[in-house]
């Protein structure tokens, strides 16, 4: 049984007189415990599918099934808790007037997670789990760096104890070094908590490190899906091939050159 199935989903947006076909007959499954990457250029429909999975947008056609049950457009609390979203820009999803601790506490309160008396302690544990000092609970989002804020957004997804997390460009706004650390955190958490990820990104070098399978979107259509190794080493679709060709790959010769250069710089 798949944890999540997207079945023949189409989405049209009407803007003034024109209709945008953001998704066109998209179907795929997500298996429990895997990391499925969704890749594609800007405007290919990645965030639209994320929003439909989360119930933020409703599909024009088709359906989304969670544990073999069709998800309704209007989701009750239990379903809202079951699937969590981490967005590119956590500033837009964290209330600027609430402290970090209050935001995390609210997630626990809303979903009735744990005993009331234990929830402050749970907030501290969550912060520690994402590598932040528990004193950060007194801070406002503005007093954190981008990477730290993204860690808080991840902690909030964890607070709901959901097993399925949709990550929409979670590291795209971060510096390369910070990006690597947040990716490492996401990998550790996935292991530790046995999570399932739908990992949306336009950055293919990230995919290679983290994803088990890759789904390639082009102009609202899913043009290729397969194991990360297969899609990278033997892309079937011309668009995927072009996408892959654009990734800077460090070949053996290039690496040797880099090693030599760093030797001479010592």
Among 5, 44, 47, 162, binds Mg ion (CB under 5 A): 47
**One symbol per residue from 27 to 66: x for binding ligand ADP (CB under 6 A), - otherwise; what is it?**
-------------x-xxxxxxx------------------
Residues 2-31 that bind ligand ADP (CB under 6 A): 13, 15, 20, 22
Spatial separation of the C-alpha atoms in residues 153 and 159, rounded to whole Å: 10
**Residue 228 binds ligand ADP (CB under 6 A):** no
Smallest Cα–Cα separation from 220: which of 3, 85, 19, 75?
Answer: 19
- % helix, strand, coil for the chain, step of 5: 45, 25, 30
Report DSSP state, residue 72: P
Q: From the CB of 20, what's the least distance to ligand ADP, in Å?
A: 5
How far, CA to CA in Å, does 109 sit from each of 82, 122, 128, 140, 193? Answer: 15, 11, 19, 19, 21
Give every CB contact of residue 96 below 8 A, 6+ residues apart in sequence.
140, 141, 142
Q: From the CB of 47, what's the least distance to Mg ion, in Å?
A: 3
**One symbol per residue from 149 to 188: x for binding ligand ADP (CB under 6 A), - otherwise; what is it?**
----------------------------------------
Q: From the CB of 150, what's the least distance to ligand ADP, in Å?
A: 18
**Which lies closer to ligand ADP via its Cβ, residue 87 or residue 179?**
87
Residues 115-154 that bind ligand ADP (CB under 6 A): none
Q: From the CB of 219, what's the least distance to ligand ADP, in Å?
A: 8
Stretch touching Mg ion by CB under 5 A, among 47-55, 114-122, 150-158, 205-213? 47-55
**Residue 88 binds ligand ADP (CB under 6 A):** no
**Which lies closer to ligand ADP via its Cβ, residue 220 or residue 235?**
220
Contact present, 100 and 153 (Cβ < 8 Å)? no
Q: What is the DSSP string of 22-52?
A: EEEEEEEEE-TT-EEEEE--TTSSHHHHHHH
Q: From the CB of 7, what's the least distance to ligand ADP, in Å?
A: 18
Smallest Cα–Cα separation from 154: which of 118, 212, 193?
Answer: 193
Contact present, 222 and 214 (Cβ < 8 Å)? no
For residue 261, with 0-12 CB atoms within 10 Å meaning exposed, 13-18 middle and 19 or more buried, which class applies? exposed
Binding site for ligand ADP (CB under 6 A): 13, 15, 20, 22, 40, 42-48
Binding site for Mg ion (CB under 5 A): 46-47
């Amino acid at each position: 049984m798949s944890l999540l199935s997207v079945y023949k989903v189409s989405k049209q947006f009407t803007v003034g007189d024109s209709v945008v076909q953001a998704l066109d007959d998209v179907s795929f499954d997500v298996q429990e415990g895997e990391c499925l990457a969704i890749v594609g250029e800007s405007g290919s429909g990645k965030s639209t599918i994320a929003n439909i999975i989360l119930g933020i947008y409703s599909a024009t056609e088709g359906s989304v099934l969670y544990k073999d049950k069709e998800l309704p457009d209007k989701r009750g609390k239990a379903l809202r808790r079951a699937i969590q979203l981490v967005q590119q820009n956590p500033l837009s999803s964290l209330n600027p007037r609430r402290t970090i601790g209050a935001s995390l506490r609210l997630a626990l309160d809303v979903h009735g997670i744990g005993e009331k008396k234990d929830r402050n302690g749970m907030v501290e544990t969550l912060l520690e789990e994402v590598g932040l000092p528990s004193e950060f609970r007194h801070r406002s989002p503005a007093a954190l760096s981008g990477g730290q804020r993204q860690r808080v957004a991840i902690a909030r997804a964890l607070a709901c104890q959901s097993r399925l997390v949709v990550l929409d460009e979670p590291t795209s706004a971060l510096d390369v070094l910070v990006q690597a650390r947040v990716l490492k955190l996401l990998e550790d958490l996935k292991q530790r908590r046995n999570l399932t990820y739908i990992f949306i990104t336009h950055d293919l070098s990230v995919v290679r490190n983290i994803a088990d399978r890759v789904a390639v979107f082009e102009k609202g259509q899913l043009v290729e899906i397969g194991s990360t190794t297969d899609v990278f080493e033997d892309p079937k679709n011309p668009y995927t091939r072009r996408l892959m060709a654009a990734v800077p790959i460090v070949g053996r010769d290039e690496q040797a050159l880099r090693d030599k250069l760093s030797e001479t710089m010592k």
